[in-house]
């Protein structure tokens, strides 16, 4: 192995230790004091690694190793912000592994044609302000879906004020947009956040693409009435219709196959009394797939099922789409390099899609991209119980390093 395991582990542990949460796990919400301290530590590590450190207009931390005659950085990175009570590796692994990979290339004086970059993206999780991907979208020149001044955290702090507090001018965030050809390739190492690798006993996942998210918000409207006085055949029960839809969505998800997933995450029942027939139910559906045609088919079946449920229970149905993001395929030449590197290194791997989004998604609009997954124990993430074996962490970092070198040579 070329990477320095002990150094990698020490750095990850130190940053986690500084943001240990008394309620469990680690909390580094974006633009919080814990985030500030972690960012300070990351910059120090970048300098220790011999990188030139800079901040861009969106608060991304960029460490460059200037080498080679060709333009176009071969970059790697991830985020260091977490959800509340997050685990040790979500984001932090890919950030510190990128610094390790660059330091390793520098120390071993590997001859390279392209310069290298480690990027630590600002606010990936969106756990505090609800947006997420702020840093990576800004580098890609993609504005957030809402105006910046509309985002507020649960304590009433505005995103624009949190940015200013970190020395970031909100109106200049998109100045971080990277000119065309700045990057020639981008790689991200990340925990899987699912149990597929563990079940298949693979140490590495090579990501084929990131599933496109589609969110539906809908409602059934019937009539609230007395649970005792209204005969069954005279009801307009909005919850009965919603329940039928929930089980239909489950069936559609199972029938369309493994990569298609659909989830009802919210049901709001009104008025919500023990002796009252529900007159109104609001629901949400999260639909994802890598295959956009199959996703459309799933959405079509779900909406048809909703209309049928409404007709069956004599209620009305309304719906709207509140998010529609296309799926994104990883670059096939990068995937091929990752496969070769795994084979050379005798690491067992498999190819799989990513359900969650990542900083790689916006980066894919700038350059060719690839993602490496390492197993999440029990498939758990966004929890203090999130964990990955150190052996898998080292293998993932080694694969990241070797692939970066191959891309830069």
Q: Could you tell me the smallest distance in angstroms from the CB atom of residue 92 to Co ion? A: 9
Q: Could you tell me the smallest distance in angstroms from the CB atom of residue 78 to Co ion? A: 6
Cβ burial, residue 365 (10 Å; 0-12/13-18/19+): middle
Nearer to Co ion, 132 or 298 (CB): 132
Per CB under 5 A, which region of 10-18, 89-97, 318-326, 346-354 contacts Co ion? 89-97
Q: In sequence order, what are the beta bridge partners of 206?
A: 351, 372
Beta pairing class for 316-324 and 73-79: unpaired
Cβ burial, residue 93 (10 Å; 0-12/13-18/19+): buried
Nearer to Co ion, 90 or 192 (CB): 90
Cβ(108)–Cβ(333) below 8 Å: no
Q: Could you tell me the smallest distance in angstroms from the CB atom of residue 91 to Co ion? A: 4
DSSP element (H, E) containing 53: strand 52-55
Q: Does 398 bind Co ion (CB under 5 A)?
A: no
Binding mask 34-73 for Co ion (x = CB under 5 A): ----------------------------------------
For residue 325, report the phi and psi dihedrals to the nearest 5 degrees: -110, 135
Q: Could you tell me the smallest distance in angstroms from the CB atom of residue 124 to Co ion? A: 6
Specify the DSSP class assigned to residue 86: B
Q: Does 90 bind Co ion (CB under 5 A)?
A: yes
| Region at 350 (left for phi over 0; alpha for psi -120 to 50; beta for the rest) | beta
Nearer to Co ion, 90 or 398 (CB): 90
Nearer to Co ion, 91 or 253 (CB): 91
Nearer to Co ion, 124 or 289 (CB): 124
Q: Could you tell me the smallest distance in angstroms from the CB atom of residue 90 to Co ion? A: 4
Binding mask 213-252 for Co ion (x = CB under 5 A): ----------------------------------------
Beta pairing class for 212-221 and 225-226: unpaired
Q: Is the backbone peptide bond immediately before 271 cis, with ω within 30 degrees of 0?
A: yes
What dihedral angle (degrees, nearest 10) is formed by the CA atoms of 332, 337, 342, 346?
130
Q: Does 132 bind Co ion (CB under 5 A)?
A: no
Nearer to Co ion, 91 or 396 (CB): 91
Q: Could you tell me the smallest distance in angstroms from the CB atom of residue 127 to Co ion? A: 10
Output the CA–CA distances (angstroms, integers) from residue 281 to 242, 245, 324, 356, in the order listed: 7, 12, 23, 27
Nearer to Co ion, 135 or 218 (CB): 135
Closest CA relative to residue 123, chosen from 211, 58, 54, 212 = 58
Helix (H, G, I), strand (E, B) or coil at 13: helix
* Tokens standing for residue 3: 């990477």
Nearer to Co ion, 88 or 91 (CB): 91
Among 59, 86, 91, 218, binds Co ion (CB under 5 A): 91
Q: Could you tell me the smallest distance in angstroms from the CB atom of residue 95 to Co ion? A: 10
Residue nearest Co ion, CB atom distance: 91
Per CB under 5 A, which region of 66-74, 83-91, 127-135, 304-312 contacts Co ion? 83-91
Q: Could you tell me the smallest distance in angstroms from the CB atom of residue 94 to Co ion? A: 8
Nearer to Co ion, 90 or 100 (CB): 90
The interface with Co ion within residues 8-27 (CB under 5 A) comprises none
CA distance 369 to 361: 9
CA distance 32 to 45: 20
Helix (H, G, I), strand (E, B) or coil at 106: helix
Q: Could you tell me the smallest distance in angstroms from the CB atom of residue 190 to Co ion? A: 6
Instruction: Give contact residues for Co ion (rule: CB under 5 A).
Output: 90-91
């Amino acid at each position: 192995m070329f990477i320095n395991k002990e150094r990698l582990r020490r750095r990850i542990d130190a940053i986690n230790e500084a943001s240990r949460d008394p309620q469990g796990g680690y909390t580094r919400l974006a633009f919080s004091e814990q985030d500030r301290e972690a960012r300070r530590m990351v910059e120090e590590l970048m300098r220790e690694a011999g990188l030139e450190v800079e901040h861009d207009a969106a608060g991304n931390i960029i460490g460059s190793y200037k080498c080679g005659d060709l333009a176009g950085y071969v970059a790697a990175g991830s985020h260091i912000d977490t959800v509340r009570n997050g685990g040790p590796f979500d984001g932090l692994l890919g950030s510190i592994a990128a610094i390790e990979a660059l330091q390793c290339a520098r120390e071993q004086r590997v001859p390279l044609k392209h310069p290298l970059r480690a990027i630590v993206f600002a606010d990936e999780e969106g756990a505090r302000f609800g947006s997420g991907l702020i840093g990576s979208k800004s580098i890609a020149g993609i504005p957030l879906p809402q105006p910046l001044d509309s985002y507020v955290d649960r304590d009433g702090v505005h995103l624009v004020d949190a940015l200013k507090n970190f020395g970031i001018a909100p109106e200049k965030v998109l100045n971080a947009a990277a000119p065309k050809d700045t990057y020639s390739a981008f790689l991200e190492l990340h925990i899987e956040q699912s149990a597929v690798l563990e079940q298949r006993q693979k140490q590495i996942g090579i990501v084929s693409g990131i599933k496109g998210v589609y969110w539906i918000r809908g409602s059934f409207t019937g009539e609230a009435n007395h649970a005792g006085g209204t005969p069954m055949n005279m009801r307009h029960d909005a919850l009965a219709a919603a329940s039928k839809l929930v089980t239909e969505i489950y069936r559609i998800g199972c029938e369309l196959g493994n990569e298609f997933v659909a989830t009802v995450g919210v049901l709001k029942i009104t008025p919500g009394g023990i002796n009252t027939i529900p007159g109104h139910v609001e629901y949400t559906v999260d639909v994802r797939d890598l295959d956009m045609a199959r996703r459309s088919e799933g959405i079509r079946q779900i909406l048809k099922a909703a209309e049928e449920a409404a007709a069956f229970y004599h209620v009305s149905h309304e719906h709207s789409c509140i998010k529609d993001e296309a799926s994104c395929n990883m670059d096939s030449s990068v995937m091929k390099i990752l496969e070769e590197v795994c084979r050379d290194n005798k690491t067992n791997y498999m190819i799989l899609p990513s359900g969650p989004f990542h900083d790689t998604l916006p980066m894919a609009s700038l350059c060719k991209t690839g993602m490496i997954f390492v197993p999440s124990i029990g498939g758990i993430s966004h929890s203090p119980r999130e964990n990955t074996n150190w052996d898998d962490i080292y293998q993932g970092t080694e694969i990241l390093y070797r692939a970066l070198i191959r891309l830069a040579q």
